[in-house]
Amino acid sequence: MPDNGLVADIKNFPQLYNVLSDEDKEYLLANHSVKYFAKNEKIYREGDKPKGLLCLGSGKVKVYKAGIGGREQIVRMVAAPNFLGYRALFAEEAHIASAEAIEDCVIYHIPKDVIFKLIASNRKVCKNILKSFAVELGFTRYRTVSLTQKHIRGRLAESLLFLRDIYGFKDDNITLDVQLSREDIANFSNMTTSNAIRTLSTFVNEKVIAVDGRTIKIVDEPKLERISKLG
């Protein structure tokens, strides 16, 4: 059992469980499995065929694609609770990205036919999945524009703000509640690791952020927003 404080129970996955009828709840409880993934463990790989719907119950996950020359691009950072790897399932294709735990994770696996039955019997399930898609497509399109058009400083600032939006702060309201390597930060911001390190240093010098190892504090949020906006 991972020691992340959360009970490994699909009842804690509101997007799905909370909208079901009592009958469907029973059906779901009897027809899903719980899986644990350790930090750095791969959850699925590009090319794998999805066998069902994954729900991230607790932990954090990065979803990334191999680009030109093996350079990896992180296309999604996932916080719990959230659907995972569902694009390939509903497109009826193989996965076009890989997913890796960046913290110990609990994942609920719902077989393909089970989730399709639930979608058919419950309109809210369908609506929630549609909404997840719609929100994620919006995010992805937004990112396409900013990753291609913003300069390094703007891209990095934006990425830090996204990490804040996705994972939030620790109790001090300033420390990002996620630990990433410089390489991950670079792959999320479409830049080389060198440039991510260099630009983080610049931000520290400008007192926009504070860095201690992999711990990042956002010291001057308005300024970071400004850097992100300006591009």
Partner DNA sequence: GTACATTTGTGTTACATAACATATTTTCAT
Partner DNA sequence: ATGAAAATATGTTATGTAACACAAATGTAC
Binding stretches for DNA (CB under 7 A): 69, 71, 151-153, 181-183, 190-195, 197-198, 200-201, 211, 213-214
Q: Does 130 bind a second copy (CB under 8 A)?
A: yes
- Residue among 194, 175, 174, 172 nearest 185 (CA): 194
Q: Does 119 bind a second copy (CB under 8 A)?
A: yes
Q: Which stretch binds a second copy (CB under 8 A): 4-12, 21-29, 64-72, 206-214?
A: 64-72
How far is residue 180's CA from residue 174's CA, in Å, rounded to a whole number?
16
Task: Return the exposure string of 94-115: e unless at least 16 CB atoms fall within 10 Å of the residue's CB, then b.
Answer: ebebbbbbbbbbbbbbbeeebb
Between 117 and 182, CB nearer to DNA: 182
CB within 8 Å of 131: residues ≥ 6 apart? none
Do residues 116 and 125 lie in contact, with contact meaning Cβ atoms separated by under 8 Å?
Answer: no
- Per partner kind, with CB cut-offs from 5 to 8 A, the member of a second copy, DNA, none near residue 126 is a second copy
Structure tokens at 33: 């499995």
- Per partner kind, with CB cut-offs from 5 to 8 A, the member of DNA, a second copy, none near residue 213 is DNA
Task: Give Cα separations from 68 to 71, 73, 88, 170 (angstroms).
Answer: 6, 10, 22, 36
| Binding pattern for the stretch 160-199 against a second copy, x by CB under 8 A and - elsewhere | ------------------------------x---------
Structure tokens at 160: 């830090």
- Per partner kind, with CB cut-offs from 5 to 8 A, the member of a second copy, DNA, none near residue 197 is DNA
Between 37 and 86, CB nearer to DNA: 37
Q: For a second copy, which residue of 29, 34, 38, 137 counts as binding (CB under 8 A)? A: 137
Closest separation in Å from C-beta 144 to a second copy: 5
Closest separation in Å from C-beta 102 to DNA: 12
Tell me the chain's radius of gyration from C-alpha atoms.
Answer: 19
How far is residue 62's CA from residue 75's CA, in Å, rounded to a whole number?
8
By CB under 8 A, name the binding residues for a second copy: 65, 67-69, 71, 73, 75, 86-93, 96-97, 116, 119-120, 123, 126-127, 129-131, 133-138, 140-150, 154, 190, 231
